[in-house]
Amino acid sequence: MNYTDLKDKNLNELQVLLKEKKVLLFELKAKLKTMQLTNTSELRVAKKDIAKIQTAMTAAKAN
Protein backbone atom coordinates (compact mmCIF):
# COMPACT_ATOMS: atom_id res chain seq x y z
CA MET A 1 0.00 0.00 0.00
CA ASN A 2 1.44 3.35 -1.05
CA TYR A 3 0.62 6.74 0.38
CA THR A 4 -0.11 7.99 -3.13
CA ASP A 5 -2.99 5.50 -3.35
CA LEU A 6 -4.43 6.79 -0.08
CA LYS A 7 -4.24 10.54 -0.62
CA ASP A 8 -6.92 10.34 -3.33
CA LYS A 9 -9.49 8.72 -1.02
CA ASN A 10 -12.01 10.67 1.04
CA LEU A 11 -12.21 10.61 4.82
CA ASN A 12 -14.97 7.97 5.04
CA GLU A 13 -13.08 5.53 2.82
CA LEU A 14 -9.96 6.02 4.93
CA GLN A 15 -11.88 5.35 8.14
CA VAL A 16 -13.25 2.07 6.74
CA LEU A 17 -9.79 1.05 5.57
CA LEU A 18 -8.30 1.94 8.96
CA LYS A 19 -10.85 -0.23 10.76
CA GLU A 20 -10.08 -3.17 8.46
CA LYS A 21 -6.34 -2.83 9.06
CA LYS A 22 -6.79 -2.62 12.82
CA VAL A 23 -8.86 -5.81 12.78
CA LEU A 24 -6.16 -7.47 10.68
CA LEU A 25 -3.49 -6.35 13.17
CA PHE A 26 -5.55 -7.77 16.05
CA GLU A 27 -5.88 -11.10 14.24
CA LEU A 28 -2.15 -11.20 13.49
CA LYS A 29 -1.31 -10.52 17.14
CA ALA A 30 -3.67 -13.31 18.23
CA LYS A 31 -2.03 -15.70 15.77
CA LEU A 32 1.39 -14.68 17.07
CA LYS A 33 0.37 -15.47 20.65
CA THR A 34 -0.99 -18.89 19.67
CA MET A 35 2.12 -19.71 17.58
CA GLN A 36 0.13 -19.85 14.32
CA LEU A 37 1.85 -16.90 12.64
CA THR A 38 4.69 -18.04 10.41
CA ASN A 39 5.57 -14.73 8.75
CA THR A 40 6.11 -12.20 11.54
CA SER A 41 6.95 -9.41 9.10
CA GLU A 42 3.20 -9.14 8.43
CA LEU A 43 2.89 -7.37 11.79
CA ARG A 44 5.30 -4.65 10.73
CA VAL A 45 3.56 -4.21 7.38
CA ALA A 46 0.15 -3.89 9.05
CA LYS A 47 1.45 -1.30 11.51
CA LYS A 48 3.03 0.73 8.72
CA ASP A 49 -0.20 0.59 6.70
CA ILE A 50 -2.13 1.91 9.70
CA ALA A 51 0.36 4.76 10.07
CA LYS A 52 0.04 5.63 6.37
CA ILE A 53 -3.75 5.68 6.63
CA GLN A 54 -3.63 7.90 9.70
CA THR A 55 -1.27 10.29 7.92
CA ALA A 56 -3.63 10.46 4.94
CA MET A 57 -6.56 11.10 7.29
CA THR A 58 -4.71 14.00 8.92
CA ALA A 59 -3.93 15.47 5.51
CA ALA A 60 -7.56 15.04 4.43
CA LYS A 61 -8.81 16.84 7.54
CA ALA A 62 -6.42 19.75 6.94
CA ASN A 63 -7.79 20.32 3.42
The domains found in the chain, sorted by start residue, are 3-62 (1.10.287)
Mean of the per-residue pLDDT values for the chain? Answer: 94
Least Cα distance to 14 among 63, 62, 58 occurs for 58
pTM of the entire structure?
A: 0.91
Query: Is the pLDDT at 27 greater than 80, yes or no?
Result: yes
d(CA 26, CA 18): 12
pLDDT of the residue at 29: 97
- What CA–CA distance (Å, rounded) separates 51 from 43? 13
Residue 63, pLDDT above cutoff 80: no
pLDDT mean over 29-48: 96
